Structure 1
Amino acid sequence: MNLPTPLLDAIAEFAADVSSDAVMTVVVQLRQSSSNLEQALLQIQQRLHSTARTRFQRILEEWRNCAGRVPPGELAASVEGALHQATRLRDESSVELVWSGPATPRLGFRSTEQVLLELISGARRSLFIVTFAAYKVDALVQAIQAAVTRGVKVSFLLESREESDGKVDFDAADGLALSRVGGITTYVWPLAKRPKSIQGLHGSLHAKFVVADEEVLFVSSANLTDYAMNLNIELGTLMRGGDAPRQVAANLAALLRDGVFRAVNL
């Protein structure tokens, strides 16, 4: 039978969050449980650490809701299949640290500018770039223009002088000269949409990250500035594959649909 969605979700969560050895222990125990199922389930839970036990208990809850329609062997096969999928996704994803600043010979970190240029130049469908400050990064602007030319949908979310309530005296879009780069959609975070402290101070658009093709995510302390590329100490993380790029892209899309960000004409 087709397993109900809540049970499938519980199995997927268990396989993704629990060690492979622990998951396979559960699979083996389920397959050997025909003679004394309740005893086997008790033994499984006793062998799992607290987090894994909580995840497994959710599986049991959803499984029991099936009222015996899913035999232990079928449940075991589903758990093993979910483990295979989770392992494949982990193998397909990677995380790389990106460092700008004083170099250490033993650790071959790539620089912020190098990674950004690679990310922009490698984008095939979409780029969403978020930064607080931006200026004097001609090489990046040229790479962005080339991306637009080859048909990549490029979007920016930038801090602005008008919407920052006096926190900045510049427009990041002006610093990048985006008005001279056609085919780009630029968004700002309107002041009216920003939370305020009890003193009446508004929040800032302080995040710095790039999502490419909903498949690669670069999160960094670095703004898109000459100082950040060449003088500052900056640290970032480049994530390829996995859930993070898709989750961030989906979050941005939801915020745009909800009107949290507003498109502007340059």
Structure 2
Amino acid sequence: MSHERFAALITDLTTMLPADHLDVWAGVLVNVDAPGDGAVVAELADARPGFSVGTHAERLIRGWRTEAPDLPGAAVALALRSAALLHRRTEARRTELAVSGPTTVAGPVRLTSSVVVEVIRAARSRLLVASFAAYGVAEVISELLSAAQRGVHVDLILESSTEAGGALRGAAGAAATFAALRHQATFWHWPAARRAASGNPRAALHAKLIAADDEVAVISSANLTDRALSHNIEVGVVLHDPEVVRRLVAHFRALTDPRTGVLQRLR
């Protein structure tokens, strides 16, 4: 007998079955004394029908019978519930890839343009948006307006033009793209004097990110431009880990703190 091998089997099943599926199976097994015969397999398969369910149920019962027959069903049920809980926590903190431009068959990725819209729509109270350049992005502007209209506080942290002391070439800074949000969002910039005070007057506000509340964020090489979101070869990550997103947002909140931050509200 090997409880370790049985634990490995449950772990393997966790990667193949949804967490709610494991919970249903735990509900079946909690009152089963021993692995028994095919009747238990059938009961598991009937409890949560689906593709290959019978095969997985058979593996579970066979493994229980050969590797851990001394365990009562309640113990197996507890193991399944624990695995389901861990699966949910892992899923909630997953990191996804987001790309722009050509896609490949190397692995599953999300399109940057779709992720940006999804993150904005996820916001319920606050949105933090930072970009170096910004141009076009009519859909993004529309989504930000919708967010503001449903009561979301929107902070836009954007690079200034070289004429205004920033690093963005051209007469207008990135804020000009979001003129439609002038009365619905709070705009922030990095004044030239504060860049100089930091020791490098030629430093740039180069971050590109969107964070919804403290729950989800996309960090990308893509600026908020039509070309970057759809056509350029860009890469980023989507963070679903609230602890990491919270630290990221806290960093920018500190940068905008009127007492100690280097960023300043754009009037």
Q: TM-score, normalised by structure 1?
A: 0.61
Q: Does 1:255 align with 2:255?
A: yes
Contact 1:145/1:181 (CA < 8 Å) preserved in 2?
no
Which residue of 2 is the match for residue 189 of structure 1? 190
Which of 169-178 and 129-138 deviates more?
Answer: 169-178
Question: Secondary structure at the residue paired with 1:238?
Answer: strand
Question: Secondary structure at the residue paired with 1:243?
Answer: helix
Sequence identity percentage: 36
Query: Measured at CA, do residues 215 and 195 of structure 1 come closer, stay the same or move farther in structure 2, by a change above 3 Å?
Result: farther
Residues 47-98 of structure 1 show CA distances to partners (whole Å, capped at 9, x for unaligned) of xxxxxxxxxxxxxxxxxxxxxxxxxxxxxxxxxxxxxx99986553110000
Take 2:91 and 2:263, find their aligned partners in 1: how far apart are those partners? 35
Which of 138-147 and 156-165 deviates more?
Answer: 156-165
Contact 2:100/2:232 (CA < 8 Å) preserved in 1?
yes
Equivalent residue in structure 2 for 1:176, among 178, 187, 193 = 178
Query: Measured at CA, do residues 230 and 87 of structure 1 come closer, stay the same or move farther in structure 2, by a change above 3 Å?
Result: closer
Residues 88-122 of structure 1 show CA distances to partners (whole Å, capped at 9, x for unaligned) of 86553110000111112453321111000011112
Could you say what the CA RMSD is over the residues aligned between the two structures, in angstroms? 2.5
Which residue of 1 is the match for residue 152 of structure 2? 152
Unaligned runs of 5+ residues in structure 2 are 1-84
Unaligned runs of 5+ residues in structure 1 are 1-84
Q: Does 1:130 align with 2:130?
A: yes
Which residue of 2 is the match for residue 96 of structure 1? 96
Which residue of 2 is the match for residue 164 of structure 1? 165
Residue pairs, 1:74-113, within 5 angstroms: 90=90, 92-105=92-105, 107-113=107-113
Query: Measured at CA, do residues 238 and 145 of structure 1 come closer, stay the same or move farther in structure 2, by a change above 3 Å?
Result: same
- The alpha carbon displacement at 1:221 in A equals 0.1
Contact 2:131/2:206 (CA < 8 Å) preserved in 1?
yes
Query: Measured at CA, do residues 166 and 189 of structure 1 come closer, stay the same or move farther in structure 2, by a change above 3 Å?
Result: closer
Matching residue's letter, 1:121: R
